[in-house]
Amino acid sequence: MRRLALIAVALLAWASPAQAAPVPSTTELWLFGGVAHEVADFEEFSLAAGLAANYLLSSRLALELDASYALRLGEPFEAAVTTATVDLVYHVNPRDNGVFYLAAGGGGAWFHAADGGIDNHSTGAGVAALGVKIYLGARILLRVDSRYFYAPSPFTDHALLNRTTLGIGVRF
């Protein structure tokens, strides 16, 4: 029983939030997954996955490279969109273990259709995001993120896409 208590104390110390919160000149790497959809059409969801890398310029500001792939299976056609953006991230409350953030940036979007009707249609993309990072310890983080992309779609008349994801990150 004593050994179990010591292991529990060691795990709590390792995951201790005492060193949590954004630390300048560090990098955060993220893997994430979730759903994406056109904002005007909540009935057609896509599965989304991607990765991101943050470099913290200060406790409040970070530069982020974000890339994702969203695939829609089903009627009326199978389609996919790939996005890659460079974003400036602003941490609203950088001293807390749960850090709210806002982000804005731009990059590109590439649309693909499985039926061959539209292939590799590319366009510029603007992005605005909001989310929260939860520091589980000095190195492990969770992130809930919602991003809105302005990217004119060749499939529909809509230009606003949403991607909502849950991710896990590592800081070093």
In this prediction, residues 88-100 reach a mean pLDDT of: 91
Which tens digit of pLDDT belongs to each residue from 16-48?
Answer: 444 556 777 789 999 999 988 777 665 678 899
Specify the range with the lowest mean pLDDT, choosing from 41-50, 82-91, 103-112, 139-148. Answer: 41-50
What range does the domain containing 73 cover?
Answer: 2-171
Residue 105 and residue 67 in contact, taking contact as beta carbons nearer than 8 Å: no
Q: What is the overall mean pLDDT for the chain?
A: 82
Residue 80 has pLDDT above 70, yes or no: yes
Structural domains counted in the chain:
1
Distance (Å, whole) CA 4 – CA 40: 53
Decide: residue 12, CB within 10 A, 0-12 exposed, 13-18 middle, 19+ buried: exposed
Over its C-alpha atoms, the chain yields an Rg (Å, rounded) of 19
CATH number of the domain to which 58 belongs:
2.40.160.20
Which tens digit of pLDDT belongs to each residue from 145-172?
Answer: 999 999 887 766 667 889 999 999 998 8
